[in-house]
Amino acid sequence: MLNLERLRTLDALARHGSVSGAAAALHITTSAVSQQLAKLEREAGQRLLAKHGRGVRLTDAGRLLAEHATRILSQVELAQADLEAQRGQVAGELRISAFPTAARGLFPLALAALREEHPALRVRSRELEPEQGIAGVVRGDLDLAVVLDWYNKPMPLPDGLVKAPVLDDPADVALPAGHRLAGRDEIDLAELAEDEWITWGEGEFCHEWLMFTLRSRGVEPVIGHRAAESHTQLALVSAGLGVCIAPVLGRHPVPDGVVTVPLKQRVVRHIFVVWRADADRRPSIRAAVHGLQEAGRKAG
């Protein structure tokens, strides 16, 4: 009997072309990918992988099984969607993630409304950064993920995902109250060329966006501090340790000692929800998307 999770690992390898690519997409270690594929080879009774330079390639048997794996995984998702649609009820379990400010700004309202309107639906939520949420949806650990684009830098989405808008979230710059520009009505990013920035973690999508945006304005950023959570960033601003980008969603209350000022070049995050196309007919998916959009309208 072929194991479904091992077929999912093979599918990821076929899609991404390498063990490291599959590991990143599935958010597991390369060692775990190799172990899953070795077990799948034993189950299949044939070699599925061959060495290719420093990496691996699929054998003929591996490509054949990968093609079947794609169809099998799609059929499993369709079966679940059809069962829910046939029942016609918003019921069962729904697993959803959001990055921290969206979880704080959207989940309380959206999930409370879902519980009241659909008592047979059990929602399980967690905070994950956008890339992790997308990976969770791709590998089937999550049903939905709330993620984001920046106005000038889209978030890449793998094939097979569907998305719907939730809200557009404007962002200001947060300054210490004693900052030389704190009394301004608006600020150009270029005026902050000499300031230290408080940003997200190295390699995170939002950090890469900030670097790209500042450099496009002729600013080579000086990074003073890194923090994943926006309220931690604002606390560092309050202590006079730098400036940061402060989106509106989930921002309040702003700490004492922090002033937020609009930017001349309008900075907006496009917040949206993603799910697998194969799950599109599930009533629970449609109900959750609607609930998030309603919460987004109220938050906006």
pLDDT given for residue 247 in this prediction: 96
State what percent of residues in the chain have pLDDT above 70. 98
Taking the domains of the chain in order of start, what are their residue ranges?
4-84, 89-145+277-299, 168-269
Tell whether the model's pLDDT for residue 59 goes beyond 80: yes
- Taking residues 147-152, report their average pLDDT: 95
Tell whether the model's pLDDT for residue 82 goes beyond 80: no
The answer to whether the beta carbons of residues 19 and 56 sit under 8 Å apart is yes
pLDDT given for residue 280 in this prediction: 81
CA distance 285 to 121: 11
Residue 233: other Cβ atoms inside 10 A: 25
Comparing C-alpha atoms, which of 160, 110, 169, 113 is closest to residue 276? 160
Residues 6+ positions from 7 with CB-CB distance below 8 Å: 40, 65, 68, 69, 72, 73
pLDDT given for residue 91 in this prediction: 83
User: Rg of the chain over CA atoms, in angstroms?
Assistant: 22
Residue carrying structure tokens 């959207």: 106
What secondary structure does DSSP assign to 142-210, as a single string?
-SEEEEEEETTBPPP--TTEEEEEEEEEEEEEEEETTSTTTT-S-B-GGGGTTSEEEE--TT-HHHHHH
Q: Which pLDDT band holds residue 212 (cuts at 50, 70, 90)? A: very high
- Taking residues 83-88, report their average pLDDT: 67
Pick one of 3.30.2000.10, 3.90.1150.10, 3.40.190.10, 1.10.10.10 as the CATH number of 89-145+277-299: 3.40.190.10
Comparing C-alpha atoms, which of 15, 13, 68 is closest to residue 36? 13
Write the burial class of residue 106 (CB in 10 Å: 0-12 exposed, 13-18 middle, 19+ buried).
Answer: buried
The answer to whether the beta carbons of residues 283 and 266 sit under 8 Å apart is no
Tell whether the model's pLDDT for residue 86 goes beyond 70: no
The answer to whether the beta carbons of residues 22 and 7 sit under 8 Å apart is no
Residue carrying structure tokens 């670097």: 211
CA distance 110 to 12: 32
Q: Do domains 89-145+277-299 and 168-269 have the same CATH topology?
A: yes
168-269: CATH class: alpha beta
pLDDT given for residue 105 in this prediction: 95
When the pLDDT of each residue in the chain is averaged and rounded to a whole number, the result is: 91
Q: Which residue has the higher pLDDT, 85 or 37?
A: 37
Tell whether the model's pLDDT for residue 231 goes beyond 80: yes
Q: pLDDT tens digits for 151-198? A: 999 998 988 899 999 999 999 999 999 999 999 999 999 999 999 999
| Architecture of the domain defined by 4-84 | Orthogonal Bundle (1.10)
Q: Which amino acid is at 156?
A: P
Q: Apex CA 123: angle with CA 121 and CA 156, to 5°?
A: 125
Tell whether the model's pLDDT for residue 218 goes beyond 80: yes
Q: pLDDT tens digits for 248-299? A: 999 988 999 999 999 998 999 999 999 998 888 888 999 999 999 999 999 9
